[in-house]
Structure formats: structure tokens, C-alpha cells
Chains A and B, each alone.
Chain A
Amino acid sequence: NAGVTQTPKFQVLKTGQSMTLQCAQDMNHEYMSWYRQDPGMGLRLIHYSVGAGITDQGEVPNGYNVSRSTTEDFPLRLLSAAPSQTSVYFCASSATGTGGEAFFGQGTRLTVV
């Protein structure tokens, strides 16, 4: 079972470049979310979605965009990369039918230079 798949695993961007982090899940979960993990800050919610066509902002949404056109996919777009966006990004999915247990992808380590 694939679970939650994130691509790429590593990425280096120059300041001002844009890119999309991909996230796909094959568990038919309605909830998907993006977190960033920074040393000393823990994990913080960027954006989340409660179903196809519905997205909302989390704790740190500035500089990021999301869309949810299908249940399976939840891409995260960096509009104009900044060094402050250097972080490890995790995508997660969950469903009420499984008690809200969250499943995570392996993460994307992003460096903005």
C-alpha cells in the first residue's frame, strides 16, 4: 500500500523561484494537510482541506497556495521562494472513518538559497 506519497524528497531553489510540492494519497481520506517542520519550532500547519474543492488556511499560510481538485491529490505551491521557507514539509491525510488517525508522507526537504 502506497499510503501518502510526497515528491520530490529533496529540492534546492533560488530565491524568487516557484515550485509545487506534490502529495497524493490512495486511502480515500477526506482530510489532507500540509505541515512544515523547523528546528525548535515543531510542526506547524500551513494549509488543509476537508474535501475536494475545499481548502483553508492554517497557522503559517503566507507564501503558499493549495488546491484540491481530487480526493487523492493536494499540491502545495510556493509562489516566490524565500530563504525563510527553507524547511522540511510533510503532507498528511486522515479520515473520520479511521478515528482521525493521521498518516504522513516521507517529507520534502527544501532549501532556498
Chain B
Amino acid sequence: KQEVTQIPAALSVPEGENLVLNCSFTDSAIYNLQWFRQDPGKGLTSLLLIQSSQREQTSGRLNASLDKSSGRSTLYIAASQPGDSATYLCAVLRDSNYQLIWGAGTKLIIKP
């Protein structure tokens, strides 16, 4: 059974720092992995999608990597800003059907 874990559960850093959020999964047979952002009381915004054949994707200050063999993905945020404060969720899409398996998220606080 696929399980997705995100560490740490919460992270608080000063503005301007570079930071890394971690996502690990137990079954390497994935179709893709997505990183989402969720603001309090809001919906889910897709940040980056990495296909199983890809190693990384970049969007602005965000870079996500994928290592299927070790069952890990990282989300790198460069030069963090208070507006980056949110909960970040990773989800893997299984090969066998279109069910997303979710991590519990990392709550990120960027202090001004």
C-alpha cells in the first residue's frame, strides 16, 4: 500500500532563507508527483508536477526534484517571502488508477 510522508510537519524560518520541504513515498510505481499549496480556508493550488520519467521541475523560485528509486521528492523554495506562508502538500498518482495518495502536509511560516 502506498504511503506518503511529509517531514517536517511544521517549519518556521526568517524571510529570505532558502528552504527544503521533504516528501517520501513507499512504492516507487508512481505515474507522477504533484506539489500543492493550500492557504488557510482555501482550496488547493497546483505548484509543480513531476512525471515519473522526470528528475525535476522548476517554476520561478520553486524547484521540485524526484528520485523514484529512493522514494523521495523535495520542494526547494529560494529566497522565501512572507507570502510563501501556507501548507504545502505532496501527492503521488498511482500507476494502477487515478487516485492521488496524499501526504499530511508541511505548514510553513515565513517570518518578516
A contact set with B: CB distance below 8 Å: 31, 33, 35, 40, 42-45, 48, 50, 58-59, 90, 92, 94, 99-107, 109
Contact = CB atoms under 8 A, between A and B. Distances in A.
B34 A102 contact: yes
Contacts, number: 58
29 contacts: A31-B98, A42-B102, A42-B104, A43-B102, A44-B102, A45-B100, A94-B98, A99-B49, A99-B51, A100-B31, A100-B32, A100-B49, A100-B98, A101-B32, A101-B34, A101-B46, A101-B49, A102-B91, A102-B93, A102-B100, A103-B46, A104-B43, A104-B44, A104-B45, A104-B46, A105-B43, A106-B42, A106-B43, A107-B44
Given A102-B34, A107-B42, A48 B102 contact: no
Contacts of A33: 98-100
Interface residues of B, number: 23
Contacts of A58: 99
Interface of B: 31-32, 34, 36, 41-46, 49, 51, 89, 91, 93, 97-100, 102-105
A22 B54 CA distance: 35
